Amino acid sequence: MTMAKFDEPGYYKHEDLLKVDYHPPRTGWMDTPVDFRPGTYIYPGKAKNLKYLDLPNPRNWAVTDEDWKLQENWKEIVLDGMAERLRRYRTFRLFMDICVRCGACADKCHFFIGGGDPKNMPVLRAELLRSIYRKDFTALGKILGKIAGARELTYDVIKEWFYYFYQCTECRRCSVFCPYGIDTAEITMMGRELLGLLGLYVNWAIEPVANCFRTGNHLGIPPHGLLDTLEFMVDDIEEATGIKVDIPMNKKGAEVLFVTPSGDYVAEPGIQTCMSYMILFNEIGLDYTWSTYASEGGNFGLFTSHEMIKRLNAKIYAEAKRLGVKWILGGECGHMWRTMHQYMNTVNGPPDFLEVPKSPFTGTVFENARSAKIVHIMEFTADLIKHGKLKLDPSRNDHIRVTFHDSCNTARGMGILEEPRYVMKSVCNNFFEMPENTIREQTFCCGGGAGLGTDENMEMRLRGGLPRGSAVKYVQEKYGVNQLAAMCAIDRATLITVCDYWAPGVKVTGISELVANAMILKGEKKRTKNLRLETIPGAEEEDTAQGNIEHLETIEGMHTTKGGSSNE
């Protein structure tokens, strides 16, 4: 047996990770330097990526280096950058001024809960920046210095920022509980922008950004590669359903442009989610198109800078215009929807050349998207189901006992909570909610959002994933839950690790996959395989719900009662 390395979950013993010491160290936080322990920090952005994007100070360096090769005048750059942002963002200025350090946010952050490092309390994460603000931008801080909570901007402060602003997944859970709505994600975004001015990025975010700028998607898939990928999926769809679907690609004059995160092009369960979109669109006969240029709905610019959000996202409306579509439909993703919902219309809009989205099948006008002209796949699907436009056999999903992970961005940056639940309950007979402190607006991050989902950050991912993992384990033990649905590409990648570690036996799925498996398609063959090309339990012999439940009980050896917290 080979020993696991720090970038593998097996390296970490459960009992070690669970020994969380919530007692702060003896030294005050200003006097406690960062400990760059492998497994808790992310590798720096490579020079070639910064160069490609024309970002400042491209060079290769290592986090553990003494010298991070900053510009001569790094201090001035940071302070000027702060001054500029304080003039531009009311959030930044206000949040620097009004925190009362009541601590209501302290134990709301998954990284603090799972790790106990006091600087992962949202309030202290913000203080890392606020202390510099006091020193250089407030009267009392200038006069009284440390007594007024101010401190000098030093090289070590920069290192500390780099560590802790990349230990925040910008999930905004803290801001739900803060009496003033102070959003530490916003402060993290400012912190990361300031670091960016010094050429300090993490490669796991900036490489996708560079890829995305060039090829249209984070993974760097070129146009012919994308077509290839989708063609593979078409074959798998045919194998599972007997139906051959089309791939409309860069098709001018289509009614709808479909964009989805590139996570859906690779690896299970992303690809099944992607196949499911194709099945759905084919079945209802949607006149749509994919785009190789707008082949990414996600936007790692959100984890980089406001400017980068705009640079990457410009392609979406540009492509909609070039192809002459009427409106845009977006796939299952979290941070993509924070961008599409809260930023896109401002940074790249308004897209007056598009039409107010209207479902060609139900006639529903999506009033809430009347200006941005982009509709969420769950809004679209819920509307179809409500109008009886899909033929569904939920019993095909009876071997699945599913719970739902609200993604941070869609929950707290949009509020799409009921649509996915309605869809899931329409296609699954066994739906169970996790405890109420861990869902909806109080949902917990997967631990790997905002550019943190890389393997070298494994310890932090497992720690940050603990609250979610614990909630999954709870419903697994209580209701026999065996699948966790999430409408987010990052979740579909990172929650696999989290579940394997904290709630082994629970698989991760996209919601659309559940829909496509339950859909009775025109001319389909007898469905014995699901989209993962696994045999559907019970499908061979008998197709009744009863049979499936019994099957489940025998294979899982679990006592399962229906209902319970299943939220109607």
Partner 1 sequence: MNVFISLAAVVFLFLAGLLGAGAGLDALFGIVIPYIAIFLFLGGLIYRVMIWANVPVPFRIPTTSGQEKSLPWIKQSKLDNPSSTLGVIGRMALEILCFRSLLKNTKTELHEDGHVAYGSSLWLWLGSMAFHWSMLIILLRHIRLFIEPVPGAITFLHKLDGFLQIGAPVFYVTSFIFPIALLYLLFRRLGDPKLRYISLVNDYFPLFLLIGVGISGFWLRYISKTDIASVKELTVGLMSFRPVTPAAISPLFYGHLFLVCVLLGYFPFSKLVHMAGVFFSPTRNLANTNREAHHANPWDYPVKVHTYEEYEDEFREKMKAVGIPVEKE
Query: What is the binding site for ligand SF4 (CB under 6 A)?
Result: 99-105, 108-109, 111, 122-123, 125, 168-174, 178, 180, 182, 184-185, 188
User: Nearest 5°: CA angle at 97, between 181 and 205?
Assistant: 65
Binding partner 1 (rule: CB under 8 A), the pick from 16, 76, 80, 107 is 107
Residue 97 CB, shortest distance to ligand HEM, in Å, is: 13
Considering only 127, 398, 456, 513, the residue that binds partner 1 (CB under 8 A) is: 127
Of 43-51, 265-273, 278-286, 376-384, the window that binds partner 1 (rule: CB under 8 A) is 376-384
Instruction: Copy the structure tokens of residue 331.
Output: 């796939």
- Strand, helix or coil at 249? strand
What residues form DSSP beta bridges with 329? 258, 375
Q: Which is nearer to ligand HEM, 104 or 314 (CB)?
A: 104
Query: CA angle, corner 32, sides to 122 and 84, nearest 5?
Result: 55
Q: Does 151 bind partner 1 (CB under 8 A)?
A: no
State which of residues 179, 242, 504, 505 lies at the interface with ligand HEM (CB under 6 A): 179
- The Cα 509–Cα 221 span in angstroms is 23
Our CB check for ligand HEM shows the closer of 179 and 504 to be 179
Question: What are residue 358's phi and psi, to 5 degrees?
Answer: -140, 130
- In Å, how far from its chain's centre is CA 487? 9
Q: Give least dist CB 539 to partner 1, A.
A: 33
On whether the CB atoms of residues 483 and 506 are closer than 8 A, the answer is: yes
Contact status: 13 vs partner 1 (CB under 8 A)? no
Q: Which two tokens stand for residue 412?
A: 């707290």
End-to-end CA distance of the chain: 48
Contact stretch for partner 1 (CB under 8 A) within 195-203, 224-232, 484-492, 518-526: 224-232
Judged by CB under 8 A, which stretch of 121-129, 160-168, 515-523, 539-547 contacts partner 1?
Answer: 121-129
CA–CA dist 112, 463 (Å, integer): 9
Residues 256-285 binding partner 1 (CB under 8 A) are none
Nearer residue to ligand SF4 within complex by CB, 100 or 267: 100
Which part of the chain contacts partner 1 (CB under 8 A), choosing from 42-50, 153-161, 469-477, 521-529?
469-477
Instruction: Using the minimum distance from each CB to ligand HEM, give the nearer residue, 62 or 102.
Output: 102
Q: Tell me the three-class secondary structure of 480-537, residue by residue.
A: CCCEEEECCHHHHHHHHHHHHHHCCCCEEECHHHHHHHHECCCCCCCCCECCCCCECC
Using CB under 8 A as the binding rule, whether residue 329 contacts partner 1 is answered as no
Among 60, 73, 154, 346, binds partner 1 (CB under 8 A): 346
| Cα–Cα distance measured from residue 339 to residue 345, given in angstroms and rounded to the nearest whole number | 9
Spatial CB neighbours of 205, under 8 Å, sequence gap ≥ 6? 45, 300, 303, 304, 450, 451
- Considering beta carbons, is residue 411 or 508 the nearer one to partner 1? 411
As measured in angstroms, the least distance from the Cβ of 455 to partner 1 is 22
Partner from ligand SF4, partner 1, ligand HEM, none contacting 266, C-beta within 5 to 8 A by type? none
Measured from the CB atom, is 98 or 144 closer to ligand HEM? Answer: 98
Q: Which helix (H) or strand (E) holds 422?
A: helix 418-427
Question: Hey, what are 473's tokens?
Answer: 């384990």
Contact pattern from residue 131 through residue 150 relative to partner 1, giving x for each residue in contact according to CB under 8 A and a dash for the rest:
-------xxx------xxx-
Q: Least CB distance from residue 31 to ligand HEM, whole Å?
A: 23
- Report if residue 98 touches ligand HEM, rule: CB under 6 A: no
Residue 127 CB, shortest distance to ligand SF4, in Å, is 9
222 sits near partner 1 (criterion: CB under 8 A): yes
Least Å distance between CB 345 and partner 1? Answer: 6
| CA 127 – CA 24 distance, rounded (Å) | 15
- Give the residue among 511, 490, 339 at the shortest CA–CA distance from 417: 511
User: How many Å apart are CA 354 and CA 373, to the nearest integer?
Assistant: 7
Interaction of residue 382 with partner 1, rule CB under 8 A: yes
330: which strand partners? 259, 376
Subset of residues 226 to 285 that bind ligand HEM, contact rule: CB under 6 A: none
Which are the contacts of 483, defined by CB distance < 8 A and separation ≥ 6?
400, 401, 402, 403, 506, 507, 508, 509
Number of residues in the chain: 568
**Residue 483: φ, ψ to 5°:** -140, 145
Out of ligand HEM, ligand SF4, partner 1, none, what residue 171 binds, judged by CB under 5 to 8 A for its kind, is: ligand SF4
Chosen from partner 1, ligand SF4, ligand HEM, none, partner binding at 200 (C-beta under 5 to 8 Å by type): none
For position 100 contacting ligand HEM by CB under 6 A, the verdict is: yes
As measured in angstroms, the least distance from the Cβ of 474 to ligand SF4 is 21
Binding footprint of partner 1, residue count (CB under 8 A): 122
Quick one: 180 or 474, whose CB is closer to ligand SF4? 180
Q: Quote the tokens at residue 53.
A: 């994007």
Neighbours of 62 (CB within 10 A): 10
Task: Name which of partner 1, ligand HEM, ligand SF4, none residue 221 binds, using a CB cut-off of 5 to 8 Å depending on partner kind.
Answer: none
Largest separation between any pair of C-alpha atoms in the chain: 81
How far apart are alpha carbons 327 and 336 in whole angstroms?
17
Question: Under the criterion CB under 8 A, does residue 441 sit at the interface with partner 1?
Answer: yes
Rounded Cα distance, 303 and 331, in Å: 20
Residues of this chain that interact with ligand HEM (CB under 6 A) are 100, 102, 179
